[in-house]
Amino acid sequence: MNGGYLTEFVPMTLREMQARAWDAIDILLVSGDAYVDHPSFGAPLIARILLDAGYRVGLVAQPDWRNPDSLKVFGRPLLGCGVSSGNMDSMLKIYTAGRRLRREDMYSPGGKSGMCPPHASVVYGQLARRAFPGLPIILGGVEASLRRFAHYDYWQDKMRPSVLVDSKADLLCYGMGELTMLEIFERIKSGKGLGGIRGTCRYLGGKESMDFKFDEGCIRLPSYEEICSDKDAIMRQTKIVEAEMNPWCGRRLAQSTNSRMLIAEAPRPPMTTEQFDRFSELPFTGRPHFSYTEKIPAWETIKDSIAVVRGCPGGCAFCGLVSHQGRHLACRSPQSVVRSVKRLSKQPFFHGTISDIGGAAGNIYGHRPKDAEICKKCRRFSCLFPKVCPNYNADERPLMKLLDRLKSIAGVKNVFINSGIRLDLALMQPYQTEKIIAEHISGQISVAPEHLDDRVLRLMRKGRAGEFEKFRSIFDSVNGATGKKQYMVPYFISNFPGCADEDMELVDNYLAKSNWNVRQVQDFIPLPMTMGCAMYCSQTTPDGRQIEVNKGLAQRRAQRDMLRRDRR
């Protein structure tokens, strides 16, 4: 190769493409985030994987969505175009729970807002269709996963069809798309059809929809029209989708939309440890693209961190992560993590502190089923709720050994865990919990009790009310023994469906008694594909009980303001 620094990154410009001696690209990837060449950013990760597989890949980050020419940097791609809103649902990135514009976009240079459009998957999909007629367009990323079926959009306060319908794309890739995108583009390259690929959705044409036949391997979802007209239909859909999320026993799902069929193939199994290691160790620069002159806040947050686990066993009712990453964990090998840390230690911005070793939670690394075959038949939505599955092995030794090993690497002074700690698991892992508090937090630890009322916690699919106080006791005890002055940062949610003002007062009174001003408060946002969203829309629990739901901003203000008041 020639061109020096021009070949360090996945090409963003024609000059970079030419420096690689390419006369065209095979695949164009479009992202609603700035380009940070780091495996924690979805589009760059997919770009590196496709590049490693031998494809010529170009990346366009935050294009002008009003102008199709903004996608024609490299000319017409030979195989196809992948589209993602970025690392977050675009509506969540742009708007607050109060439906107001956010002041900052963490994924844009300088934190500037307005660089990514609302409903980015739809907008970019339509833009790519205008720019490249006839070219296969593939949707992917978090937004595509959460909006793969008919869904409620909180910010518009309306039901919308799958983003695949509105975007005019050919295929939607849901879940973690590393292996799926490789299969998709191998099919396109070899001239094969795109039907039957695990982890994808297709919107069939009129004739194909008429000819479609249901069998025992395919489950019918409520139609888009039913979702729009019946407030209980979104609950029925969510319960079906949750029951079919297991990649080993989940079935195809079909949803009629505008007299055509949307088909979702069964989920793809998670990566193996070997695949996770390989993809994480591709030649990422670990930095934003050299063209940026302003800092990218999201990168500043994660630049010294190492992701070591994918998936989440929790299945919390308010969280969309399980709909994207799944609940079955994939963990990197200790050897791979060590290699990544050694590479990080050579970065000019690294000063000896690893800011985070984690994933969806800071204390799930190395967890696995006692019997993998039992997991392959399970239809639970959570491994931890309403009680911990007896087949779930919350082994604390792998993380403890990994932390000790990383701390011994030359040039590493501190190894911290900043990912949130699950309280239920923390109480099951006494030695690991004490070790983390004593040695591996940077002066504060993030925990998510979410609420302090048992009934509300059950609605949220969280643990029990006493867990937070028990953890706080351990935290204070360890700090007393070590002489450290450290702080807890608890995370609470207001206005969750079924949470009345008097329930929120329980949290408010506890905080007042503790003279505690909380720094992390989230007014509930009903994210698509979550059980919390289905409860918000239907005003019922999954078992059909009626609940109170605060919907208007005026109704929601009382609970929100309780948690934000100054108690000093």
Q: Which two tokens stand for residue 361?
A: 């939670």
Tokens at 522, concatenated = 């989230």
First to last CA, the chain: 61
Which tokens in the block code for residue 404? Answer: 């000790």
Cis preceding linkage at 386, omega within 30: yes
Q: Which two tokens stand for residue 475?
A: 């935290």
Task: Dump the DSSP string for 239-266.
Answer: HHHHHT--TTT--EEEEEETTEEEEEPP
Tell which residue, 518, 528, 369, has the closest CA to residue 447: 518
Amino acid at residue number 197? I
What is the distance between the alpha carbons of residues 81 and 136, in angstroms, rounded to a whole number?
A: 6
- Given the DSSP bridges, would you call strands 330-331 and 309-310 parallel, antiparallel or unpaired? antiparallel
With tokens 């909380």, the residue in question is: 518
Question: Which domains does the chain show, CATH number per domain?
Answer: 4-202 (3.40.50.280), 443-568 (3.30.750.200)
- Say whether 151 sits in a helix, a strand or coil: strand
Query: How far, CA to CA in Å, does 361 sit from each of 309, 367, 426, 445, 502?
Result: 9, 12, 11, 12, 30
> Could you tell me whether strands 414-415 and 353-354 are parallel, antiparallel, or unpaired per DSSP bridges?
parallel
* 506 φ, ψ (degrees, to nearest 5): -60, -45
Find the length of the chain.
568
Token pair recorded at residue 351: 């000063």
Question: Six-digit token pair at 147?
Answer: 């909006």
- Sheet strands side by side (includes 444-450): 444-450, 487-494, 520-523
The amino acid that residue 155 corresponds to is W
**Among 477, 387, 486, 368, residue whose Cα is nearest residue 430:** 477
Token match 């494809």: residue? 55
pLDDT at position 560 is 87
Residue 520: predicted pLDDT: 65
* CB of 208 closer than 8 Å to CB of 501: no
Query: What tens-digit pLDDT sequence spans the chain (568 residues)?
Result: 345 789 999 999 999 999 999 999 999 999 999 999 999 999 999 999 999 999 999 999 999 999 999 999 999 999 999 999 999 999 999 999 999 999 999 999 999 999 999 999 999 999 999 999 999 999 999 999 999 999 999 999 999 999 999 999 999 999 999 999 999 999 999 999 999 999 999 999 999 999 998 888 999 999 999 999 999 999 999 999 999 999 999 999 999 999 999 999 999 999 999 999 999 999 999 999 999 999 999 999 999 999 999 999 999 999 999 889 999 999 999 999 999 999 999 999 999 999 999 899 999 999 999 999 999 999 999 999 999 999 999 999 999 999 999 999 999 999 999 999 999 999 999 999 999 999 999 999 989 899 999 999 999 999 888 999 999 999 999 999 999 999 998 889 999 999 999 999 999 898 888 887 776 678 999 999 999 999 999 999 999 999 999 998 888 989 988 877 766 6
Cα gap 22→46, rounded to integer Å = 19
Q: What pLDDT is stored for residue 1 in this prediction?
A: 38
Decide if 304 contacts 59 (C-beta within 8 A).
Answer: no
Q: Cβ(143)–Cβ(131) under 8 Å? A: no
Identify the helix (H) or strand (E) that includes residue 415: strand 414-415
